[in-house]
Amino acid sequence: MSTRARLRVAVLAGGRSAEHEVSLSSGRAVHEGLQSAGHEVLWVQIERDGAWRHEDRLLSVCPGEGLLGADVVFGALHGPFGEDGTVQGMLETLDVAYVGAGVAASALCMDKVLFKQLMGAAGVDQVEYIGIRERRWRTARAQVLAEIVGLGLPVFVKPAHLGSSVGIVKVTETERLGEALEQAFEHDVLAIVEALGDGVEVECGVLEPAFASEPGEIVFKGDWYDYTAKYTPGGMELRLPARITEGARKRVKELAVEAFEHAGCEGLARVDFFVNGEKVLVNELNTMPGFTPTSVYAKLMGASGIAYPELLSRLCRLAIERHEQRSLS
């Protein structure tokens, strides 16, 4: 593993997904944090049309030749075409170290339905859900609606491959289910409908190999934790320590690491929960959580004794170590 104090890090930000602006904000924060840690940082912006640019010029790459001579790539990308294994596969082809989950884990965790199926097979307690493909909705509408109603209202209807609460609708009336599904299908051919999770929303950060942060409680002003609450300053409060029992706190940390390992994640992740008394339910796992000034992951790690510049440096060095180990195998 490289022991040089100063690394050359390429930060990828932007991307083709609906989370483009969130990614740019994450990327800028990562850029500043890495610079403050003493590293050389190269900015690579992926435009909405998929073009890669560096210093206002189109960037061309060649398999096996790395990326701009960087020691490691920090892909501050969210959503499809960034967090779903596609860019990770490209970086594997370029033979360059990169922060975060690999191709398979990225693809798995980006698919909310597939992730929940894996957690179910592993015996992990989670929120009740139904996955619905657009094709089935078009051909078996009455049956689909009956299954959703069986979850009990309210429910949350989501595109299966987006994050940051993009495209999510809370539905409290049966008559609004069709409209909510149509909205989800504008973003994705696969939707997920989740039952209302009981209790408080709690999030826990994981850092490879098996470090779980102190759990934090998400407190928000609105009816639910939507896009506005996540990305508007003052829209949410991260309460540390979370107002949960000691038993629930330990269980959250255990389940965060278990979910991370079951999914085959690497580097980092944020795992989201619903906690009601001693009952702990896994909701989602995010392989590249937001790194904006209002994002939770860095705050969780900071509260657990890992400052932001140190966190970024550690993630980069973990990525380099993993890349070197794979090169030897």
pLDDT for res 231? 53
Q: Is 297 in contact with 260 (CB distance < 8 Å)?
A: no
Tell which wins on pLDDT, 5 or 205. Answer: 205
143: Cβ contacts below 8 Å, ≥ 6 apart: none
Residues spanned by CATH 3.30.1490.20 within the chain?
Answer: 129-195
129-195: what fold?
A: Dna Ligase; domain 1 (3.30.1490)
Residues spanned by CATH 3.40.50.20 within the chain?
Answer: 8-99
Rounded to 5 degrees, φ, ψ at 229 are -65, -35
Amino acid (1-letter code) at residue 250: K
From CA 252, how far away is CA 31, in angstroms rounded? 31
Question: Residue 219's beta-bridge partner residues?
Answer: 237
Of 102, 284, 297, 308, the active-site residue reads 284
Of 23, 25, 106, 164, the active-site residue reads 164
Active site annotation includes 327: no
In tens, the pLDDT along 8-43 reads 999 999 999 888 998 999 999 999 999 999 999 999
From CA 43, how far away is CA 56, in angstroms rounded? 10
Active site annotation includes 19: yes
Question: Residue 204's beta-bridge partner residues?
Answer: 271
- Asked, as a colleague might, if the bond just before 293 is cis with ω within 30 of 0, I would say no
Active site annotation includes 286: yes
CATH of domain 8-99: 3.40.50.20
From CA 202, how far away is CA 138, in angstroms rounded? 36
Residues spanned by CATH 3.30.470.20 within the chain?
Answer: 108-126+198-287
Of 19, 84, 226, 266, the active-site residue reads 19
pLDDT for res 10? 98
pLDDT of 1 above 50:
no
Residue 187, both tokens: 């973003």
Of 25, 283, 286, 295, the active-site residue reads 286
Rounded to 5 degrees, φ, ψ at 79 are 85, -170
Residue 322, both tokens: 């993993």
Which class for 158: exposed (0-12), middle (13-18), buried (19 or more C-beta within 10 A)?
A: buried
Domain spanning 108-126+198-287: which CATH class is it, in words? alpha beta
From CA 312, how far away is CA 37, in angstroms rounded? 8
Of 270, 314, 317, 322, the active-site residue reads 270
Of 185, 180, 163, nearest to 231 (Cα)?
163
Q: Is 286 in contact with 13 (CB distance < 8 Å)?
A: no
Residue in the structure block whose two tokens are 């051919």: 189
Residue in the structure block whose two tokens are 């609450």: 229
DSSP state, residue 47? P
Active site annotation includes 270: yes
CA distances, 303 to each of 137, 213, 280, 290 (Å): 44, 8, 22, 17
pLDDT of 323 above 50:
yes
In tens, the pLDDT along 295-321 reads 899 999 999 999 999 999 999 999 999
Of 194, 208, 258, 272, the active-site residue reads 272
Of 82, 102, 167, 290, the active-site residue reads 290
In tens, the pLDDT along 184-238 reads 999 899 999 999 988 999 999 999 999 999 999 999 776 655 555 555 566 678 9
In tens, the pLDDT along 225-278 reads 555 555 556 667 899 999 999 999 999 999 999 999 999 999 999 999 999 999
298: Cβ contacts below 8 Å, ≥ 6 apart: 291, 308, 311
Rounded to 5 degrees, φ, ψ at 194 are -115, 140
CA distances, 31 to each of 17, 66, 168, 217, 292 (Å): 21, 19, 30, 27, 11
From CA 282, how far away is CA 208, in angstroms rounded? 19
Of 98, 129, 225, 231, the active-site residue reads 231
Of 235, 241, 201, nearest to 220 (Cα)?
235
